[in-house]
């Protein structure tokens, strides 16, 4: 048989996850290949990049979409399991599970919205999973849409992985990000929580003498545990105690309106970075992620061709 597309694999993969508590990704791929009776050639067929098999890639994307919709979850690295929502989906969607049926889940709609949002002010790129949009889109628009969907999924994954880190591990991640962004290039970037420096998790010295400093607070909170006004007030107090006037408060969660107002009210300048922005920065600066594939899209060089007429 031909290798099924990733949407056709969604329900079979979810059914497989329902058979036991936790599955390793590699076991999901091998078991699905066996049940679909794929030939050796089909199992070994690789993507044009040569870095991954086509079947592994499609199973991976089926799992990614199921996780984004909340039908499955990743309890630990390299594994997956079905959720209560996923078991209900198997009962409510007996025929097929694909991107259109996943639209009923708020988490998936939020994911799709993130994947369609640009940071340049351009119109949203075409969605390659939408057959109507795909039929009307140019190849360039399809590539842009695919890249944005991939990035949105990756941002969600890297944020989920950050939540699994220990408090000190998360602080190390934040300091690595700030260093990758160029802070402390002429000075130092150091984590201070282990030294008992109350109220401050890190210090960025922008110059060799440490005269120009930025203080960092890094809090690994669940999404349903927002950072409220008192936390910002405490951080501002820590800055005051150090005679500092600049700080960065980074969290995996979000900030309440009261927290945002407090950051605006105080004399010190405090930059607030929530989980969504944190994930975007991690991907943009390549911290905790790796480049899997790169593509070049060429266009005709009219000027050159005209010049040699």
Q: Which domains does the chain have, with CATH numbers?
A: 1-104 (1.10.10.10), 167-273 (3.40.1350.10)
Mean pLDDT along residues 54-71: 93
Q: What percent of the chain clears pLDDT 70, i.e. is strictly above it?
A: 90
Q: What are phi and psi of 188, to 5 degrees?
A: -145, 160
Q: What is the mean pLDDT of residues 75-104?
A: 93
Prediction pTM value: 0.73
- Confidence bin at 300 (pLDDT 50/70/90): confident
Q: Are 259 and 233 in contact (CB under 8 A)?
A: no
Is residue 284 pLDDT above 80, yes or no?
A: yes
- Provide the terminal-to-terminal Cα distance of the chain, rounded to the nearest Å: 51
Neighbours of 297 (CB within 10 A): 8
The predicted pLDDT at position 65 comes to 93
Q: Which residue has the tokens 């259109």?
A: 100
Counting residues of the chain whose pLDDT is more than 90, the rounded percentage is: 55
Q: What average pLDDT does the structure give for the chain?
A: 87
Alpha-carbon gap, residue 253 to 284, rounded angstroms: 19
What's the confidence (pLDDT) of residue 223? 83
Ramachandran bin of 288, using left for φ above 0, alpha for ψ from -120 to 50, beta for the remaining angles: left
Residue 87's pLDDT band (cuts 50, 70, 90)? very high
Q: According to the model, what pLDDT value does residue 208 have?
A: 81
pLDDT, tens digit (0-9, with 9 covering 90-100), for 193-204:
665 556 788 999
Residue 122 pLDDT > 70:
no
CA 276 to chain centre: 8
- Tell me the pLDDT tens digit for each residue of 251-268: 999 999 999 999 999 888
Scanning the chain, the segments in alpha helix (DSSP H) are: 6-17, 25-35, 40-44, 54-69, 84-92, 99-102, 106-116, 131-136, 139-164, 167-180, 229-241, 257-265, 275-284, 302-307
H helix count then E strand count, the chain: 14, 8
Nearest to 229 by CA among 256, 269, 266: 256
């Amino acid at each position: 048989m031909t290798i099924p597309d990733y949407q056709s694999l969604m329900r079979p993969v979810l059914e497989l996850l329902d058979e036991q508590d936790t599955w390793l990704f590699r076991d999901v791929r091998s078991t699905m290949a066996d049940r679909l009776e794929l030939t050796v050639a089909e199992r070994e067929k690789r993507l044009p990049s040569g870095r991954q098999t086509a079947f592994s890639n499609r199973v991976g994307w089926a799992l990614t979409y199921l996780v984004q919709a909340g039908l499955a979850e990743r309890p630990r690295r390299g594994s997956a399991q079905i959720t209560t929502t996923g078991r209900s989906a198997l009962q409510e969607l007996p025929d097929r599970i694909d991107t259109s049926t996943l639209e009923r889940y708020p988490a998936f709609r939020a994911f799709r919205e993130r994947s369609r949002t640009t940071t340049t002010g351009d119109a949203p790129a075409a969605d390659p999973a939408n057959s109507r949009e795909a039929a009307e889109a140019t190849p360039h628009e399809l590539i842009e849409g695919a890249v944005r969907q991939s990035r949105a999924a990756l941002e969600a994954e890297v944020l989920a992985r950050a939540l699994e880190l220990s408090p000190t591990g998360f602080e190390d991640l934040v300091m690595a990000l700030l260093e990758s962004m160029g802070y402390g290039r002429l000075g130092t970037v150091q984590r201070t929580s282990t030294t008992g420096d109350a109220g401050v998790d890190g210090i960025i010295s922008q110059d060799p003498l440490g005269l120009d400093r930025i203080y960092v607070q890094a809090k690994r909170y669940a999404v349903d545990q927002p950072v409220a006004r008192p936390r910002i007030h405490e951080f501002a107090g820590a800055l005051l105690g150090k005679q500092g006037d600049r700080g960065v408060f980074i969290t995996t969660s979000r900030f309440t309106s009261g927290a945002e107002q407090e950051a605006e009210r105080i004399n010190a300048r405090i930059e607030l970075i929530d989980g969504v922005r944190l994930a975007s920065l991690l991907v943009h600066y390549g911290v905790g992620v790796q480049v899997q594939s790169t593509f070049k899209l060429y266009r005709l060089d009219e000027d050159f061709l005209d010049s040699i007429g």
